């Protein structure tokens, strides 16, 4: 299934892309996706799926938009 991954802030420069479409197997979770794009799992981050924060183990679906952002705290 095709998932769009969008990185936010310094993740763009640190991990080398801003947005891309990944073809992943059915049953892939948001956690799996973080590993696929090589983001350090210990790094504090917030992951949203179609604009809503994901819960651990949440499975993704065809056409989802997953956004991975550092924890921002306001300007």
Partner 1 sequence: MNGWTGQFLRVNLTEKTFKKESFSEDFARKWIGGRGFAVKILYDELAPGIDPLGPDNKFIVALGPIAGIPAPNTGKAVVAGKSPSTGGYGDGNLGTRVAEQLRKAGYDALIVEGRASGPTMLYIDDDKVEFLPADEVWGKGTYETNDWIYAKYGKSVGVLNIGQAGENMVRYAVVRSLEGRAGGRTGMGAVMGSKLLKAVVVKGTKPIPQADPAGMKKVGYDDLREVNRIDKKTGWSIQSTNGVLAWCNEVAALPVRNFRKTHHPDAWKVDGERLNNARIATYGCPNCTMRCGITIHDDEGRESELDYENVGLLGPNLEIFDLAQLGSLNYLCDDYGIDTMSGGCVLSFYADAIDHGAVTGDYGFNDPEGSKRLLGEIARRDTEIGRVLAEGSMRAARKFGHDSIDYAMQVKGLEVAAYNCKFIPGMALAFGVSPIGAHHKESWVITFELKQSVRESYGPEKAQKVVELQRIRGGLFEYIVACRFPWIENGWSLENYPKYFKLVSGLDWTLDDFWTVSDRVYSMIKLFWLREYPQADRKMDYPPAVWFDPANADTEGPIAGRHLEYDKYDGLLQLYYDIRGYDRRGIPTKATLERLGTAEEGRAAEKFAKLT
Whether the Cβ atoms of residue 6 and residue 18 lie closer than 8 Å to each other:
yes
Binding residue for partner 1, selected from 26, 41, 52, 57, defined by CB under 8 A: 52
Shortest distance in whole angstroms from residue 65 CB to partner 1: 8
Q: Which of residues 31-50 bind partner 1 (CB under 8 A)?
A: 44, 46, 48, 50
To partner 1, the closest distance from the beta carbon of 7 in angstroms equals 9
* Spatial distance between the Cα atoms of 34 and 29, rounded to a whole number of angstroms: 9
Per CB under 8 A, 12 contacts partner 1: yes
Closest of 8, 33, 35 to residue 19, by C-alpha: 8
């Amino acid at each position: 299934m095709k998932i769009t991954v969008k990185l936010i802030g310094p993740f763009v420069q640190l991990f080398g892309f801003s947005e891309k479409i990944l073809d992943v197997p059915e049953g892939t979770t948001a956690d799996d996706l973080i590993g696929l794009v090589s983001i350090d799992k210990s790094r504090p981050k917030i992951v949203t799926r179609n604009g809503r924060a994901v819960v651990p183990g949440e499975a993704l679906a065809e056409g989802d938009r997953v956004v991975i952002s550092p924890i921002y705290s306001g300007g």
